[in-house]
Structure 1
């Protein structure tokens, strides 16, 4: 028997012919968890195991998405060569053919329709180097003003609110390590339990340490379960709820008068407005009992330290910027910012949502969070790029507004990188119809997504296992994704694709990079002196220190753990408060006789964004293989909706069919549909195209719908 066992183990040992370990980071949420992929060759097959690796942010934790992330890069549907559409079908072509085709099409479009007829649509999932390069490519190689990115649909309201209030936008004003020691926390419109699961231990530890947690959400979620108080707000009423909290804080004399006097402007305007409001009317408007508003306000204001976190539930509204600013009014009025265990956190959604918005993909922006209309900023970046500042285009328009310009015929060509706007944008029917009008659409992707299907040419992108570069996580910590696995087939990195197109367009001298580190070193210079200053950060330092929090202006600077300790980033050093109306100037859609229910949207744990990658992972797709409608049982009975049945959900814009899911954890006037699915289950077909006037965020979180049985 012993000999048989020894023989068995010897055989098993021999079967493992080789083992390789790839260092990388999760490609999904903004926690950017460090991990290793272990590849074992076992006879005629390969076995993959993902393990978490210790790091300052997620401390070695992984969620279900990270553990199964490797399944999509190895999927059989992955694109590994350029594909050209010929007679409605994609055929393989060489890179030389692809580049020649791009040169011909881009040159002809700009010769006939003008420089601004070309547009660039970027991504918040690409590296800092690639985000920086994409902005440079648009403005130097293409000389077009039209560039924006999918982060416009994610972080723009919080980013704009932070810039307007503080003068600076970094996801978290404090490091996550401070969260466990704060005394009170407001989680507004954020479901971190499903969207950023590896962040949850920070909040669970805070609760263990006695912190009081207040959640604001129309639904009960995994996140609201840890709350001591859940304010089940009516969709779209966050700004009004913040006014109710402010009213109680002011009338109970719970202000930090000294902090307001020394560190803020505009408070008297806020005081005058909110004290004129009726708490009972605010309660009626928001759907939150007045006593709960009082408890939340008094608890938050009374504690010595406190933190506020917002996410898409508050931000993805046509008054998202104003709603966040009103919540920031609460922080400022109680003096809970720029101090230990007190501060603000905008929970970034996409993997590089923070870094991708700092270095030039936004329509009005240049690297280092500089502004493209600022003459001093233009001069500085022009000197780094070696171009005349008068040649730099002026600002363009937001992501969704670019599709309107396509529809109007002003834009006739698009270079699309790692995004799926046909599924992610509001009024999705319109976006799809607009893209079909383009003379030429180039899509860079790993798969033939719903948008890539419309492309004339698809270029194969590299995955998180292969594409080295820096990412900036939700804290503002710049990390380095090593990514050493060779690219499969003829796949190229995004930065290589950009450089090769620039070369055939005759702009090679401006894109001389040999690797990602070359690009980062130029980014460091371009960001120097800007709001988002990366100059003191190097690949060597990141490897040694496991990530650095910006701003980091010098090589001997340790990075900035806590912002605004002495002053804010406005010229006068003060935060700017404003009075925020309960109802925005552009009214939100309200339920009617024809469309009697509020619709709100969001995520599930097993999927990411439009699902292009996670729906290619068998382990993740199996957990949620179709979309669904969450509806309260009483509401379902009212509209004859049985549980677990196909239902039609319709708005003024369109209709989808999903499966019903009864839940007593949602408001009776509200239904919920996740946004990871396409085609007949694409919830963004139902969402209107009205935009936040400050940041151009669509109102994903508030639509009026009806629900009927199929």
Structure 2
């Protein structure tokens, strides 16, 4: 086959774009070339206001990674990955996909996407899975990010948008509750918007954010739901709730309030370890200021009870009369760069573009019409992310997997089990720009463009649609994900025109597919974005250009009756309790220098120097009981497996809790010991709590 047309733009001297990491999507300006090196400076964009974190400042270094993937690779008979032509790689993939499908059926093929993919890539990936592969088996690593908050938000408000208000609104708050969120390390530029607020931080650790708090509530891991119920109890009993707002804008308050009545502060203290006096103080701080926000993060969401826990914090915000008003609100601090847009346009197992439910006949008919197929040709819902990974290679599970923009060998819970499932596949294909731990185990590796080499759009945590712009041309043998999907689809017998390769063409189709959906982008265009318009979805197409909706709940919520719903939820403990053999709770999280599985940040010298290896943070007394010393090596073990980590003594840690970051590979993977128990509604694994023990690493010296 001939080489694909050159659809990437010519190099330009300067490009206004956005940071490739978290969902703040800080505005940046890139300059330079591949030969001279790329430099970055912050733009005066609302979320970062001329600031960047350490990761943002060093992001261009990944563009010049020494082990950048620049040629397609196919595993040879002797087990090595060898360079081949694109035609050979794509022919190999297509032939093996067809062979698997012919033998085992379409659901023997699966796709695993990523929350860092552009909207265009996420959209075309979902279309490719459902039409070219004809499989229902597609999900993405965003399921591991904020699926619990999305599920709870949809139930409460009728719509899921990380922040249903601009980040800049936080500057008006007197008090902000951060539940399971550590933005001082994970989103440093956000902290400038919290400078004047009194912070109430709910976290089992005394994080960098907790150190800046007016009040730090430090519960036993896995008890955040009890704490949220206790806060609602205080709000109701002490008369802090907004009865007029509850009557006018909500429903189902009474069952939720009755449930909270069983969680008086002293009972909450017994369950969580948080003093009753601190609980009462927190509730009054939220209620008595001129403005307040309740924000949740992964710490309360990554549990088998994550949806109910988020719902309980939403209940608190609703009871105080905050969401949809100028006094405050509720929001979720979305993690991944396009975690919001990535789940809106078809990567999730149960959704179609525009945030449409896959089981809704009207949604299926609309999207099928845009795609030029019959509604019955669209597969039904498939497995959620961990369920999909856990089924790989089994008799009833997928035998072939395509991975775009994800590294599940490091990021999935019970990682050793997932690694075995990946190894059992008949075919593993990974599209990436560096040899991630997952790519190294693949049968075929496809080198794709990086963020500074491509055009597209992303949607940040506020629901603001952003333009990614290219500064550089990619290396000669590197193709865009859109081109890869197009080429594979054609080889699988699909019409070439069904899979555009120009991002602007894909976005035009995405606009049509999203029209009328919850996440309606139909009124947004590249022309409007390039002209500098700031547009938040929903932004429907109209006779006059729609201004976008930065505050969608200002007048009514997205349920048909316009009212928000309280949730009747109750506390239950984690899936795994501590005991004699595994006496400690372990929790995991991010650190300032690294991001997600670390595949990018571990390739930046300055970031790796800052945190070069995995560590376990433990109270000195707990360490002494386990025979550990500062800077020694420890095994952190659960019934599933063990990781190796350097010991850090931290006197602010709870005596019953240890912490490890999850950014490291091999024996340093925190997810070797994490629990894969799933939230029954969101499919979120229980990353944030499991039972472990600490032991000195045999033969290790400090």
TM-score (norm 2): 0.95
Aligned match of 1:581: 570
Q: Does residue 487 of structure 1 match 2:478?
A: no
3-state DSSP of counterpart to 1:186:
strand
Aligned match of 1:311: 297
3-state DSSP of counterpart to 1:72:
helix
Q: Return the offset for 1:509.
A: 4.0
Aligned match of 1:55: 45
Q: From 526, 532, 544, give the equivalent of 1:545.
A: 532
3-state DSSP of counterpart to 1:272:
helix
Quick one: distance in 1 between partners of 2:263 and 2:386?
35
Quick one: distance in 2 between partners of 1:678 and 1:604?
15
> 1:369·1:530 contact (CA, 8 Å) conserved in 2?
yes
> 2:463·2:550 contact (CA, 8 Å) conserved in 1?
no
> 2:486·2:496 contact (CA, 8 Å) conserved in 1?
no
Q: How does 1:523-602 map to 2 (within 5 A)?
A: 523-554=510-541, 556-583=545-572, 587-602=574-589
3-state DSSP of counterpart to 2:143:
helix
Q: From 493, 511, 519, give the equivalent of 1:506.
A: 493
Q: Return the offset for 1:85.
A: 0.3
Q: From 118, 125, 142, give the equivalent of 2:116.
A: 125
> 1:385·1:510 contact (CA, 8 Å) conserved in 2?
no
Q: 1:280 to 1:105 in 2, by over 3 A?
A: same
- In the TM superposition, what whole-angstrom CA distance separates every residue of 1:477-527 from its partner, at most 9, and x where no partner exists? 100011131011310111111111111112134534241010001101111
3-state DSSP of counterpart to 2:453:
coil
Quick one: distance in 1 between partners of 2:169 and 2:630?
43
Aligned match of 2:126: 135
Q: From 139, 145, 158, give the equivalent of 1:154.
A: 145
Quick one: distance in 1 between partners of 2:339 and 2:620?
37
Q: How does 1:316-327 map to 2 (within 5 A)?
A: 316-327=302-313
Aligned match of 2:70: 80
Aligned match of 1:276: 262
- In the TM superposition, what whole-angstrom CA distance separates every residue of 1:671-703 from its partner, at most 9, and x where no partner exists? 000000011000001011210001010000001
3-state DSSP of counterpart to 1:591:
coil
Quick one: distance in 2 between partners of 1:47 and 1:88?
35
Q: Return the offset for 1:266.
A: 1.4
> 2:12·2:472 contact (CA, 8 Å) conserved in 1?
no
Quick one: distance in 1 between partners of 2:233 and 2:675?
32
Q: Does residue 29 of structure 1 match 2:22?
A: yes
Answer with 373-382 or 498-507: which moved more: 498-507
- In the TM superposition, what whole-angstrom CA distance separates every residue of 1:327-382 from its partner, at most 9, and x where no partner exists? 00001111111011411221111110000010000000000000111001000000
Q: How does 1:163-312 map to 2 (within 5 A)?
A: 163-204=154-195, 207=196, 211-312=197-298
- Stretches of structure 2 that go unaligned for 5 or more consecutive residues are 1-10, 698-702
> 1:178·1:341 contact (CA, 8 Å) conserved in 2?
no
Answer with 136-145 or 662-671: which moved more: 662-671
3-state DSSP of counterpart to 1:368:
coil
Quick one: distance in 1 between partners of 2:673 and 2:501?
45
3-state DSSP of counterpart to 1:470:
strand
Root mean square deviation, CA, Å: 1.5
Q: 1:274 to 1:144 in 2, by over 3 A?
A: same
Q: From 86, 90, 93, give the equivalent of 1:99.
A: 90
3-state DSSP of counterpart to 1:354:
helix
> 2:414·2:675 contact (CA, 8 Å) conserved in 1?
yes
3-state DSSP of counterpart to 2:32:
strand
Q: Return the offset for 1:545.
A: 2.7
> 2:14·2:471 contact (CA, 8 Å) conserved in 1?
no
Aligned match of 2:58: 68
- In the TM superposition, what whole-angstrom CA distance separates every residue of 1:610-656 from its partner, at most 9, and x where no partner exists? 01111111121111110100111122122221111111111010011
> 1:627·1:658 contact (CA, 8 Å) conserved in 2?
yes
Q: Return the offset for 1:126.
A: 0.7
Q: 1:512 to 1:422 in 2, by over 3 A?
A: closer
Q: Return the offset for 1:184.
A: 1.6
Q: From 427, 452, 457, give the equivalent of 1:440.
A: 427
Q: Return the offset for 1:301.
A: 2.0
Aligned match of 2:700: none
Quick one: distance in 2 between partners of 1:430 and 1:50?
40
Quick one: distance in 1 between partners of 2:206 and 2:529?
39
Quick one: distance in 2 between partners of 1:481 and 1:526?
21
Quick one: distance in 1 between partners of 2:434 and 2:80?
15
Q: 1:377 to 1:510 in 2, by over 3 A?
A: farther
- In the TM superposition, what whole-angstrom CA distance separates every residue of 1:134-181 from its partner, at most 9, and x where no partner exists? 000001111100000000000101111100111100110111111111
> 1:607·1:620 contact (CA, 8 Å) conserved in 2?
yes
Aligned match of 2:7: none
> 2:371·2:498 contact (CA, 8 Å) conserved in 1?
no
Q: Does residue 693 of structure 1 match 2:680?
A: yes
Aligned match of 1:12: none
> 2:31·2:471 contact (CA, 8 Å) conserved in 1?
no
Aligned match of 2:4: none
Quick one: distance in 1 between partners of 2:427 and 2:156?
41
Q: Return the offset for 1:460.
A: 0.3
Q: 1:430 to 1:512 in 2, by over 3 A?
A: closer
- Stretches of structure 1 that go unaligned for 5 or more consecutive residues are 1-17
> 2:146·2:334 contact (CA, 8 Å) conserved in 1?
yes
- In the TM superposition, what whole-angstrom CA distance separates every residue of 1:278-332 from its partner, at most 9, and x where no partner exists? 4212111011000000111122122342111111000001100000000000011
3-state DSSP of counterpart to 2:184:
helix
Q: From 609, 614, 622, give the equivalent of 2:601.
A: 614
Q: From 421, 435, 444, give the equivalent of 1:457.
A: 444
> 1:649·1:705 contact (CA, 8 Å) conserved in 2?
yes
Q: Return the offset for 1:234.
A: 1.2
Answer with 628-637 or 361-370: which moved more: 628-637
Aligned match of 1:681: 668
Quick one: distance in 1 between partners of 2:297 and 2:284?
23
Q: 1:276 to 1:35 in 2, by over 3 A?
A: closer
TM-score (norm 1): 0.94
Q: From 394, 404, 410, give the equivalent of 1:417.
A: 404
